[in-house]
Amino acid sequence: MSDRAAGPRQPALATVAKPSIRGIAVADLSAVFGAVVWLAMTVTGELDAIERALALAPLVLVPLALRTAVSGAFEAPVSRLTTTAIWLQPVGALLFAVSLVIPSPALLAAALATPWLAVTGLLGLAAFVRTRARGGLVFPETAIDAGFAYVSVGAVALLLAHLDLTLWFDRVIIRLTAVHFHYAGFVLPVAAGLTGRYLGDHSWEFRTVVGVVLVGPALIAVGIAFSPLVEVVAVSLFTVAVAAFGGVVLHRVVPACSRPQGLLLGIAAVALPVSMALALGYGISTFTGRSLGLTISTMVALHGSLNAFGFGLCATLGWRLSAP
């Protein structure tokens, strides 16, 4: 599709040779291996509900997203960073998952989670270099860079939980922060960026929606940490933005896709705003003091499952079927 230029001129791009083993992409092999590990840990009961969602992201969703997002738009200097991250990702993800089954706080669990921080740090550095080279905001690449930068926050949050450095928060909140920045912080911005690549859309309407999607995770985190009012406002704006984004996917992307890809992206487009509506209800109940039946355990079961499987898994698998 045509890509109408907008904003600062991008630097000359170089073809990125994606890491592979005997012609099979390392990221694809990692996602398959990660899925086997995740299923084994789930079937044996090693992971609780939060840990299942948390482990799914580095084991399966991140390699799938890297496989589709890292393209010719990643110029030569940045490709070295992303290539290193892709090679290290399987090891970092496996150790990340193992750290979840070690009773914590524990130094061993923190040590096992540290390599994942290195992987996400490389992605964040790649995002910084790309943004600096462009010299401004260029959609949809800015969305993908935001996802690459946000995911390291999730890695830091898990490390803090393992070290029991929770400040004034309950430890479960820190663990949920790790989940938040792997899904709302990483998967969603990358999915928004891939959608923008597919549509070649640089309209102000699309950029506004994606802009709220990008700042939303940070604002929600600030609200949870410091102000229920900020949390409610941030979640409200974020819910409207993801609903609009889901509408764009359903109206403009799904009809043009193959049936399997359209089904997966359609499920993701519907699951995301529903999960955020639950988050909005939880924020309102916290702010007003009225119980809406949305406890932490309920949110983990409903909101968490919709985000992890309805949105995260379906979105990354859908774009993997046919990357823009």
Q: What residue has token string 């010299």?
A: 135
Give whole-number Cα distances, 202 to 70, 195, 238, in Å: 20, 11, 20
Quick count: other Cβ atoms within 10 Å of Cβ 118? 15
Give the per-residue pLDDT at 218.
87
The confidence score (pLDDT) of residue 13 equals 42
Instruction: Report phi then psi at 25, rounded to 5.
Output: -60, 135
CB atoms near residue 50 (< 10 Å): 18
The CB density around residue 137, as the number of other CB atoms within 10 Å, is: 16
CA distance 114 to 308: 23
Asked if residues 276 and 20 have their Cβ atoms less than 8 Å apart, the reply is: no
First to last CA, the chain: 9
What gap in Å lies between CA 139 and CA 109, rounded to an integer? 38
Instruction: Scan for tokens 């891939």, then name that residue.
Output: 194
Quick count: other Cβ atoms within 10 Å of Cβ 292? 13
Domain boundaries, the chain: 15-321
Instruction: Establish whether the linkage from the previous residue to 11 is cis, with ω within 30° of 0.
Output: no
**What is Dmax (Cα atoms) for the chain?**
58
CA dist 324 and 319 (Å) reads 8
Element (H, E) at 19: none
* Cβ pair 287, 232 in contact under 8 A: yes
The confidence score (pLDDT) of residue 171 equals 82
Beta carbons within 10 angstroms of residue 2's beta carbon: 5
283 vs 324: CA distance, rounded Å: 36
CA 55 to chain CA centroid, Å, is: 13
* Tokens 């000359």 -> residue: 12
Residues pairing with 24 in the sheet: 21
pLDDT, residue 17, reads: 56
Peptide bond into 228 cis (omega under 30): no
Distance CA 7, CA 20 (A): 34
- pLDDT digits (tens), the chain, 324 positions: 444 444 444 444 444 557 888 888 999 999 999 999 999 999 998 898 889 999 999 999 999 999 999 876 666 678 889 999 999 999 999 999 999 999 878 899 999 999 999 999 999 999 999 888 887 777 788 999 999 999 999 999 999 999 988 877 788 888 888 998 999 999 999 999 999 999 987 778 888 888 888 888 888 888 777 777 887 888 889 888 999 999 999 999 999 999 999 999 999 999 988 988 888 887 777 777 777 667 777 777 788 889 999 999 999 999 999 887
